[in-house]
Amino acid sequence: MSNGTQIYSGSNASIDSLYVELSGCLDDLIKIYRSLLEVVRKEKEILVESRLDELNENNKAKDALLVRIRTLENSRMKFARDLAVLTASDVDQPRLLEIAAKLPGERGDRLRNLHSVLELLVRRVADVNKANEELVQSALRSITGAMEAIKDGLNPKPTYERKGAMAQGKAEGGALVSREA
């Protein structure tokens, strides 16, 4: 407690226990986000190579990781809130960096490091996922354009009616070039 930013309103045993829980939760989140990064990178390969049969399996894996992330995020928020109470940090919006600033030396450094790694992974996942979304949107525009072209090709040309007479208002007439011949 030699640093002026270290303020504890709880026992050191409680802080130690919550620190261990929070850092373990953050370690688990980092592992899951690394797995998610691999999955979204694989998704990009699948989209580029049009291996649609593999896309469904990849999406299932991504969904399972996202469920696990939500669960870990809830735990992380609880541990951070509890630790924020004991370190006199903001309880409503507990921030790892604020909590880290109030923990002694190595523990504060570890929380800052975990925060940096997690922030980087989340940014990378978001970037790759955005690129994947752009690929999907581009593919959908191409498919829609191709379907419109096919549809236009299948529609009969409305130049003549079935009786052989010209349809009124539907034919495009030629332009008169010259009256002299």
pLDDT in tens, 84-139: 998 888 888 889 999 999 888 899 999 999 999 999 999 999 999 999 998 888 87
Nearest to 86 by CA among 17, 3, 178: 17
| Other Cβ atoms closer than 10 A to 165 | 8
Higher per-residue confidence, 96 vs 7: 96
What is the set of domains in the chain, with CATH numbers?
12-154 (1.20.58)
Torsion of CA 24, 30, 31, 32, to 10 degrees: 110
pLDDT digits (tens, 9 = 90+) for 68-87: 999 999 999 999 999 999 88
Q: Give how far Cα 130 sits from Cα of 36, 133, 136, 137, 176, Å.
A: 14, 5, 10, 11, 54
